[in-house]
Amino acid sequence: MDLCLIHTGGTIGMARTPRGYAPKAGLVEAEVARLIARHELRAEVEIARLDPLIDSANATPADWTRIAEAIAARHDAAKGFVVTHGTDTLAHTAAALAFALEGLARPVIVTGAMRPLGETGSDGPRNLSDALDTALLAPPGVWVQFAGRRLHGARVRKSHSSADDAFTAADEARPPRVSGPKLTLHPYRAPEIGILTMAPGVSGRLVAAALELCDGLVLRCYGSGTVPDLPQLRDGLMAARAAGKPVIAVSQAPQGRLALGTYAAGALLVEAGVADGADMSVEAAYAKLAHVLSRDLGPEDRHAMLARPLCGEASL
């Protein structure tokens, strides 16, 4: 086979229902058949579907594993892959696939649409056609194809709620894949991961409670890596370190990168062994933390893996 398309659900394959848009089987398949019939796509395409199809708001790490397993099972037989997905968590899934598929030797193109295929003015036909074409030509790795652009799968984020070009990605020259001599699938478990955003007046008790309840935490810091000087935050971070719970820091700023330890207000993060997420997106940081927590690693190895780029998710 030339290509394998894995349809997971999402707006691209939705139809109106009395309760609003919901996934409907057959829409994506019909569009692929139309492209082939009109000779706009000259490739043999196998179509696989998640069962049931999902709204991406309901996606979980278990779904990331199901998609990755479908790719791994066909890795040697197909020249490339397309994953159709809802846009709300598309960035999370793209990053998760990049971490899960170590040694990926095929292009995996994740795409979706802001409006369903059957609606007038839908961006779905173009995105789907572009993704199928890109899957035949792109270098190995996980990519997002959207609004005429191919974006780094481990660097992408949804930056607009409704525009056709809803996704952006930081520039990165490194390929979006985990290197390895052969494909190795790393399935996801179901760790409890929190995302905590620093804000003026944030309660130290809240931070400490989150650190106690979670297996790992993404800490969205100010600017280049500062946090409020709260005794309970310090105690919570130190307790997390003692318990072997990984914490990774990312910036709330959409551009630039962290530089932990530059300011006294961020020294606590260095002292507590918080991993520096550099210029990683929060979506990639969440997926990476899930990846690390799903592997059989000790605390030191987890920290080392969090601190180094695996698939271009952070610049050097």
Give the rounded distance of the alpha carbon of 52 from its chain centre. Answer: 21
pLDDT reported for residue 178: 64
What's the structural domain count of the chain?
Answer: 2
Does residue 313 lie within any of the structural domains? Answer: no
Q: Is 235 annotated as a binding residue?
A: no
Residue 87 is among the residues annotated as catalytic for this protein = yes
Q: Alpha-carbon distance 299 to 59, whole Å?
A: 28
Range of the domain at 41: 3-185
pLDDT reported for residue 207: 82
pLDDT reported for residue 196: 94
Residues 72, 122 share a domain: yes
Task: Give the DSSP H/E element, type plus range, for residue 47.
Answer: strand 45-54
pLDDT reported for residue 212: 87
Residues 157, 28 share a domain: yes
- By the 8 A CB rule, do 116 and 13 touch? yes
Residues 158, 26 share a domain: yes
In tens, the pLDDT along 165-217 reads: 999 998 766 667 666 678 999 999 999 999 999 999 888 888 888 888 999 99
Q: Is 87 annotated as a binding residue?
A: yes
Does residue 312 lie within any of the structural domains? Answer: no
Residue 11 is among the residues annotated as catalytic for this protein = yes
For the chain, which residues score pLDDT lower than 70?
172-175, 177-180
Q: Is 88 annotated as a binding residue?
A: yes
- By the 8 A CB rule, do 91 and 167 touch? yes
CA 144 → CA 97, 132, 135, 168, 172, distances in Å?
11, 12, 10, 10, 14
Residue type (1 letter), 85 = H
The catalytic position among 11, 65, 84, 111 is 11
Characterize the bridge pairing of strands 247-251 and 216-221: parallel
List of residues 6+ apart from 74 with CB closer than 8 A: 1, 4, 46, 48, 81
pLDDT reported for residue 280: 95
Last residue of a domain, one of 185, 216, 245: 185
Residues 202, 181 share a domain: no
- By the 8 A CB rule, do 28 and 128 touch? yes
DSSP letter at 203 equals -
Residues 278, 225 share a domain: yes
Q: Alpha-carbon distance 3 to 6, whole Å?
A: 10
The catalytic position among 65, 84, 87, 89 is 87
C-alpha closest to that of 81 among 22, 25, 24, 153: 153
